Amino acid sequence: MMMRRDRLFLVATLTAIFSADLYFILLPKLESVRHGPGRWCSCRPDNFTIPRLGGLTTPQLSNRTSLQPVDNIMTEPVTEGSKLEKLFAHPLYNIQTPGLTPEERLLEAKQLMEYYKRKASRWERHMKLYSEAAAASNITVSKHKVTFDSDANWLKFHLGINRYALYSRDDPAIGKLLRDMQNMTVIGADYTQDEKALKGACDCTQVVKPSGHHLKLALKMQNYAKAMFKPMRQQRDEETPEDVFYFVDFQRHNAEVAAFHLDRILDFCRVPPVAGRLVNVTGEVLHVTYNDDLRAVFFVSPANNTCFFAKCLYVCKTEYAVCGSPHLLEGSMAAYLPSLSIAPRISIPNPWIRSYTFTRKEEWEVNPFFCDNVKQLYPYNSGNRLLNIIDMSIFDFLTSNMDRHHYEIFTKFGDEGFLLHLDNARGFGKHSKDEMSILAPLSQCCMIKRSTLLRLQLLARPEYRLSDVMRESLQRDLLQPILTEPHLLALDRRLQKVMRVVQRCVRRLGEDKVVTKDFARYTAKPQAATKTIKVR
């Protein structure tokens, strides 16, 4: 009986090995023979290069305009000066597309103004009632002048959201919005909506808590702008310990800031604007908090620092608190997206979701052919959804963020809308390790957008080195340095690994099956911010 089991095991093992050889080696070679003997000549290890824009014949995506060849796009002359400015002046970062129709814009100006005027009136009524109640109870309430500005930068940000991106990289309102979040007076602090949904309770039998380690707050500015504040939990030079699971890791405020800058450098423009800020925990949070539950979690530590902790009961203890020094606390300020009531979004499980337990593995972690199954499923069997997930996996690999369990899209844009790259605070935890499993969508599907690939190639060149342009971009933030030098250098190392994965795919399948055309003509000079919308 034992001998039979041994034979069955041997047969099963040999079958698996033969199947892998057939899929990865024999079939691609047979297909190369069918396409002609010259197909593999340019892909030998000694002379392999990813092709430039010419010569790629992958069928275009369903929602793209007609594609036109771009000649010599990778050979633009480079002069001395700001690498970041030269990068953004490169033709790859100035793509010409048709004007946007109303259906391709997320919101109409009239609709947005009416909605927020109602919100402003509601806030004024609420503050009047709260002030009267506070006076009767001898509670001190800080009062600030509040003005609704129809020309506010956060409103311009909301109006600029379209089918292809959250914002235009050349839009001056984005830089002004970053400065607003760094300096504008805070008039209100409250829990975020997801923490309110918990109502102070966590299911402690689950490994993953929907809140707790986040300690995030919603802060309202004096012009009714709203930002999500994530306080500092970890020093810049601290690495996440090897024994800590990704799903219980700290959320890092500097990772949120760095992720916004990286997303912009990759020209995705799918992360809402994020800026670093020093917040006075007492004056800018406690004294403008009108939620009794939130006020109740503030205390003064033995060192006389003002502290607060999370609402979730699992970590409802002073040892999990964050503290000012004695009042000032640095953190990230992320601009809120438009309200769900006027711009609905849906959250969709990532096909490459990780197992949020200590032992179990997901199918993609054990099945190298997992992407073949995904390609058969709606909405990944057509359009650009799968390619957008691959974009997101490259972005997450560069930041080393393993916590991408869901992604969100605006419902107005349907299946062809871009993916929002939200919640990046678990990135940049380890500079000494590259988690290759994050690249599973790329390595298993062997697909990548041509625009993404060419920008990665550009950022690998010494003239535009990714670590250099990131360092320059991050120096503009109030809390710089945002990343330590080892984290910046890790970006260059990881970028090379992304390129090697693409090279292996091209060797195996051929460039026309791996690299997908996805954008139209470029312009030599940037267009005006009001007219430039990149194709994603």
3-state secondary structure of 331: strand
pLDDT of amino acid 8: 59
Alpha helices in 22-151 (DSSP H): 27-35, 83-89, 109-136
Distance CA 23, CA 25 (A): 6
Instruction: Put residue 450 in one of left, alpha, beta given phi > 0 → left and psi -120 to 50 → alpha.
Output: alpha
Average pLDDT over the chain reads 79
77 pLDDT above the threshold of 70: no
Q: Are 392 and 404 in contact (CB under 8 A)?
A: yes
Half-sphere exposure of 319 (CA within 13 A, CB side): 1
530 pLDDT above the threshold of 70: no
Q: Are 262 and 483 in contact (CB under 8 A)?
A: no
Give 38 or 273, the one with higher predicted confidence. 273
DSSP assignment of 395-461 equals: HHHHHT-----EEEEEGGGGGGSPPB----TT-SS-SS---GGGGHHHHHH--EEHHHHHHHHHHHS
Distance CA 423, CA 419 (A): 12
Distance CA 408, CA 414 (A): 11
Residue 280's alpha-carbon distances to 273, 312, 406, in angstroms, are 21, 23, 33
533 pLDDT above the threshold of 60: no
pLDDT average, residue stretch 111-116 = 91
Beta bridge partners of 95: 522
In this structure, are strands 322-323 and 448-449 parallel, antiparallel, or unpaired? unpaired
Helices 466-474/253-265 angle, 10° precision: 120
The annotated binding site is made up of 230, 334-337, 408, 423
Q: Are 218 and 322 in contact (CB under 8 A)?
A: no
Q: Are 426 and 403 in contact (CB under 8 A)?
A: yes
Other beta carbons within 10 Å of 119: 15
List the one residue out of 230, 210, 211 whose CA is nearest residue 219. 230
- Residues annotated as catalytic (active site), given as ranges: 403
pLDDT average, residue stretch 272-289 = 92
Q: What's the pLDDT band for 66 if we cut at 50, 70, 90? A: very low
Distance CA 380, CA 382 (A): 6
What would the pLDDT profile of 454-469 be if each residue is shown by its tens digit? 999 999 999 999 999 9
What would the pLDDT profile of 349-374 be if each residue is shown by its tens digit? 999 998 867 677 889 989 999 999 99
List the one residue out of 283, 270, 274, 285 whose CA is nearest residue 215. 285
3-state secondary structure of 4: helix
DSSP assignment of 160-211 equals: T-BSS-SS-TT-HHHHHHHHHHHHSPEEEEEE-HHHHHHTT---TTSSS-SS
Helices 466-474/485-509 angle, 10° precision: 140
pLDDT average, residue stretch 333-353 = 94
Largest CA distance in the chain: 88
The annotated binding site for Mn(2+) is made up of 423
List the one residue out of 454, 452, 450, 458 whose CA is nearest residue 517. 450
Q: What is the pTM of this model?
A: 0.80
51 pLDDT above the threshold of 50: no
494 pLDDT above the threshold of 60: yes
The annotated binding site for ATP is made up of 230, 334-337, 408, 423
Class of residue 359 by CB neighbours under 10 A (exposed 0-12, middle 13-18, buried 19+): exposed
Q: Are 435 and 401 in contact (CB under 8 A)?
A: no
Six-digit token string for 225: 């702008």
pLDDT of amino acid 241: 62
pLDDT average, residue stretch 211-237 = 82
pLDDT of amino acid 382: 86
